[in-house]
Amino acid sequence: MPSRRTFLKATAATAGTLAALPQVHAGGSDWLKVGLVGCGGRGSGAIEQALGADPYAKVWALADVFPERADACHAKLKAKFADRTDITADRIFGGLDGYKSLIDSGVDVVLLCTTPAFRPAQLRYAVQKKKHIFCEKPMAVDAPGVRHVLETARMAKEANLNLVSGFCYRYDLPKRATIAKIHEGAIGDVLAIHTTYLTGYLWNFERQPGWSDTEYQLRNWMYYTWLSGDHIVEQHIHSLDKAAWVLKDAHPLNAISVAGRQTRVEEKWGNIYDHFATVYEFPGNVKVFSFCRQISGCANDVNDHVIGSKGSAQLQKHTIEPTGGPKWSYSGESPNMYDQEHLELFQAIRSGKTINQGEQMAYSTMLGILGRMAGYTGKKITWDQAMNSQEDLMPKNLDLKASLPFPPVAKPGRTKFE
Ligand SMILES: NC(=O)c1ccc[n+]([C@@H]2O[C@H](COP(=O)([O-])OP(=O)(O)OC[C@H]3O[C@@H](n4cnc5c(N)ncnc54)[C@H](O)[C@@H]3O)[C@@H](O)[C@H]2O)c1
């Protein structure tokens, strides 16, 4: 384990705010105990980034609906961070409610990295129990979930809890610098944004004997709208969040979308679409043209072009091209954005400052949900309609062992807005 002296030296180099350390830890110890909910790909990365961000953070508990995933994560952590992994068998939790036991196990910081559908409930419980939180995107999969998160974010603010977002581009220093220049007027007024997340197929787990419908869907969560929100909410949300950031988190007036399921048509792909082409109209006649696709064998592209009255910018390339002026491109430092989000979270906890991105995260998530609603129904959907939607996608009485029919693939022009 690092000595207190090493800790102070190391953190002073990165954080510079360590004098406050002993006071800020509620338990009176120097250690911050971190619990991870959702030990999959992202969660396993996030817990390492948390350890990297603060030499006196240690892993205290793990939860995953499938406990073998928590066990696998535990084994990896022990191998890599033996002196920072302080987990006993009774602090590894399985099942759908395991997150509550984790949050009640004495942790100071919780990383919420599960499948998106469960985020609103998990976030609420973590805030009620006064934990600092790192929370992956998206925040919810439907409007009731977004409204719930907005309320939870307000509760977190009142309790001075940190709520740091997995909308990782907001922690990318080159993007911060590029968007700051746009906000300073480097390309004049923003007129339009063209944003893409065009990629191929992702993983799929073959059904195993003994798996219930619920287990099968949970293991292939990306392909069920109730679990992921569809890929416009789960993946393309990064692009929409960048657009929202450029537009100072303004809300759109409405969206219209041409979307469908062209090649991922077999049952194993659940009920999500494979492409959306969505136009968001913002106040002032500003448009966001947004394209996402998960179809292999096509042109891939992840980019954001911002078109202004006096030039243009590219967010992924960190460049600004003013009309008639010299091109600017970012040349400063570029730390890994996933490390940066944890660094800023732990610095805030240590220094007694608070970061609360809950509202911003919820509204960015809502952009994806609005686009999905417009795509599924084929209608122009307004922001107000979407925000007030009563469509609750969570199945009633969810049971890991039970059968679970899922709604048919939406059909534009026939699927009703709810
Ligand atoms: N910010 C980013 O760049 C980024 C990158 C990848 C994933 N993500 C997000 O992270 C989240 C997880 O994605 P992933 O790629 O790690 O998926 P994953 O399937 O690898 O991991 C999700 C884990 O959550 C567990 N889980 C599901 N429901 C649970 C519940 N109710 N309680 C406890 N555990 C539960 C699953 O068993 C699984 O181990 C998603 O929201 C995804 O959008 C963000």
Query: Given the CA of residue 69, which atom of ligand 1 is nearest to it?
Result: 39
Q: Tokens 């002073």 correspond to what residue?
A: 12
- pLDDT of amino acid 17: 33
Residue 39 C-alpha to ligand 1 middle, in angstroms? 7
Question: What does the pLDDT look like over 337-391, one tens digit per residue?
Answer: 999 999 999 999 999 999 999 999 999 999 999 999 999 999 999 999 999 999 9
C-alpha 220/C-alpha 204 separation (Å) is 6
Question: Three-class SS of residue 48?
Answer: helix
Can you tell me which atom of ligand 1 is nearest the CA of 167?
1
Contact 50, 109 (CB under 8 A): yes
How close is the Cα of 35 to the center of ligand 1, in Å? Answer: 15
Ligand 1 geometric centre to CA of 396 (Å): 21
Model pTM? 0.94
Span 96-129, pLDDT tens digits:
999 999 999 999 999 999 999 999 999 999 999 9
Rounded Cα gap, residues 277 and 289, in angstroms = 7
Which pLDDT score, from 0 to 100, does residue 10 have?
39
CATH number of this structure's domain 4-169+338-357: 3.40.50.720
The rounded Å distance from CA 44 to ligand 1 centre is 9
Cα–Cα dist 149/336, whole Å: 27
> Could you read off the pLDDT of 182-225 as tens digits, one per residue?
999 999 999 999 999 999 999 899 999 999 999 999 999 999 99
**What is the overall mean pLDDT for the chain?**
93
DSSP state of 85: B
For ligand 1, atom 18, name the residue with the nearest CA.
Answer: 40
Task: Give ligand 1 pocket residues (Cβ under 6 A).
Answer: 37-43, 63-66, 69, 96, 98-99, 113-116, 118, 136-137, 166, 168, 218, 234
CA distance 110 to 46: 11
Distance 218 CA to ligand 1 centre (A): 10
Distance 38 CA to ligand 1 centre (A): 6
Question: Where residue 13 falls among pLDDT bands split at 50, 70, 90?
Answer: very low
Ligand 1, atom 19, lies closest to the CA of: 40
Give the long-range contacts of residues 256-264, CB within 8 A, separation 24 or more: 256/374, 256/379, 256/380, 256/381, 257/371, 257/372, 257/374, 257/375, 258/375, 259/232, 259/372, 259/374, 259/375, 259/376, 259/412, 260/375, 260/412, 261/409, 262/295, 263/295, 264/201, 264/223, 264/294, 264/295
| DSSP secondary structure, 287-329, as one string | EEEEEEEE-TTS--EEEEEEEETTEEEETTTTEEEETTS--EE
Nearest CA to ligand 1 atom 1: 166
Ligand 1: which residue has its CA nearest to atom 13? Answer: 42
Which residue's CA lies nearest to atom 6 of ligand 1? 42
Q: What is the pLDDT of residues 391-402, one digit of tens each?
A: 999 999 999 999
CATH class of 172-334+364-387: alpha beta
Q: In angstroms, what is the span from residue 37 Cα to ligand 1's centroid?
A: 9
* Residue identifier of the C-alpha nearest atom 40 of ligand 1: 115
Domain-by-domain residue ranges, the chain? 4-169+338-357, 172-334+364-387
**Mutational pocket test of ligand 1: of 36, 42, 65, the residue with most ligand atoms within 8 Å of the beta carbon:** 42
pLDDT, tens digit, for every residue of 15-74?
A: 333 333 333 444 335 899 999 999 999 999 999 999 999 999 999 999 999 999 999 999
How far, in Å, CA of 134 to CA of 43, rounded?
Answer: 10
CA of 45 to the centre of ligand 1 (A): 11
The residue whose CB lies within 8 Å of the most ligand 1 atoms, and thus the one to mutate among 47, 48, 64, is: 64
Task: Calculate how far, in angstroms, residue 114's C-alpha sits from the geometric centre of ligand 1.
Answer: 4
Distance 361 CA to ligand 1 centre (A): 17
| 415 Cα to the center of ligand 1, angstroms | 29
Task: Please report, rounded to a whole number, the percentage of residues in the chain having pLDDT higher than 90.
Answer: 93
CA distance 239 to 262: 22
> Mean pLDDT throughout 291-306?
98
**How far is Cα 361 from Cα 339, in angstroms, rounded to an integer?**
19
Contact 316, 222 (CB under 8 A): no
- Ligand 1: which atom is nearest the Cα of residue 234? 43
**In this structure, what token pair is assigned to residue 15?**
């954080």
Q: What is the mean pLDDT of residues 154-174?
A: 97
